[in-house]
Structure 1
Amino acid sequence: MGYSVSDRNRANNNRGQMFEHLVDQGCHVYRQKKVAIIEKTPEPFRVKGKNKDGTFVGWFAGHAQPDYKGTLKGGRAIAFEAKMTVKDRIQRDAVTVHQAGCLDYHFDMGAKVGVCCMIKNTVGFVPWTVWRDMKEIYGRKYMLEKELREFQVATPGYIDFLRLSEGDGYGSK
């Protein structure tokens, strides 16, 4: 017996929530170790009204910012997107044009910038220069799981996305 579309969607949603939880755990570990303070950026959202059952009606009030922003020990800023897929590749366009513009700006200002992503079971932190220039590097606008392995990071109960060293293509400084 196969899975229904709603079963697959629910499973993918659960995987996405687990992925985000592991990124959040990484942020928590770095804060505890006094290595960085990195916070999830809330979506720009307006509430129109609240229902008696506690639900509400609302709308997105603007373009999304990068998923996470913060400061590394020593004062350098960090900004990154978090993206995951159960497919065999992740599309460059998973980062919207607006998000890419924000990440470009952070990169130009010297921040550590990248995309924390998961393809199937591989988790990596891809430098912004690689994500942005994917077409020139790979000849296409997507990355395969085997290519993500070059940027693979440990997942010891959290995603250890800060493990790569400076001078790694994450920022202009």
Structure 2
Amino acid sequence: MPDLRQQIIGRRNKAAGETFERWISDACEFYLHKGLAYIEKTPEPFHITGKDRNGVVRGYYEKKGQPDYKGILCDGTGIMFEAKHTDSDRISQTVITDAQWKGLDIYEGFGAHCYVMVSMGLTRFYRVPWSVWKGMKELFGHKFMTAQELEPYRLQERRCTILILEGVELRNEDTERGTRTEAEQD
């Protein structure tokens, strides 16, 4: 018999993860309207095998998921990131699947901005550079990050929008250093 407690925890975590992804998608729309980025949620490769008379769809995932979001910034550079939620006081490096790891590595190799977006309890949000995520063991001595270790990557919110791109360096043809995105620009 399935453990009811584990089922409840699993459903709560799934709902929180979906909420976090919805908030990120809203932030992507915010940056699109500002003309700063076009970032899309990667659709899950789901194969439908049928539907019962109650309308419940049955199916399976065709392959392991890719990173959750990919797109392009206004300077022409790519961006890719995976979104992860936890209700714990730490996030484990192992929450990234092999397929997601590979995708982030490939995009990073081509010069894209790559991150893992982390939600802790749907109240604190972080943008961890992929290079930091991959180097957890060397940087922190373990393959997880605590809230304290995540703090330098904390994201701000404004008007109920998580500012996922604030501080991201943009290429600028007029200067060598580039500029940083600013949501305040109108």
Please state which band the TM-score falls in when normalised by the shorter chain. Answer: 0.7 to 0.9
Alignment of 1:29-108 (within 5 A): 29-108=30-109
TM-score by length of 1: 0.88
* Superposed structure 1 runs of 4+ greater than 6 Å apart: none
2:143, 2:136 → 1: CA distance?
6
Q: Which residue of 2 aligns with 1:150?
A: 152
1:159 aligns with 2:155: no
- Aligned alpha-carbon RMSD (Å): 1.7
Identical positions, percent: 37
Deviation at 1:28, TM superposition (A): 0.8
- Unmatched 5+ residue regions in structure 1? 168-173
Alignment of 1:131-142 (within 5 A): 131-142=133-144
Structure 1 residues 71-104: Cα deviation after superposition (integer angstroms, max 9, x where no partner): 1102111100000100010000111122101100
Deviation at 1:126, TM superposition (A): 0.4
User: Does the 8 Å CA contact 1:122/1:149 hold for their aligned counterparts?
Assistant: no
- Unmatched 5+ residue regions in structure 2? 171-186
Structure 1 residues 90-135: Cα deviation after superposition (integer angstroms, max 9, x where no partner): 0001111221011000000111100010123321100000001111
Decide whether aligned partners of structure 1 residues 8 and 49 sit closer, same or farther in structure 2, where only a CA change above 3 A counts: closer
Decide whether aligned partners of structure 1 residues 9 and 58 sit closer, same or farther in structure 2, where only a CA change above 3 A counts: closer
1:64, 1:17 → 2: CA distance?
15
Higher CA-based Rg:
2
2:10, 2:62 → 1: CA distance?
26
1:110 aligns with 2:128: no
* Paired AA for residue 79 in structure 1: M
User: Does the 8 Å CA contact 1:122/1:148 hold for their aligned counterparts?
Assistant: no
1:66, 1:74 → 2: CA distance?
22
Give the 3-state SS of the residue equivalent to 2:132 in structure 1. Answer: helix
2:30, 2:73 → 1: CA distance?
13
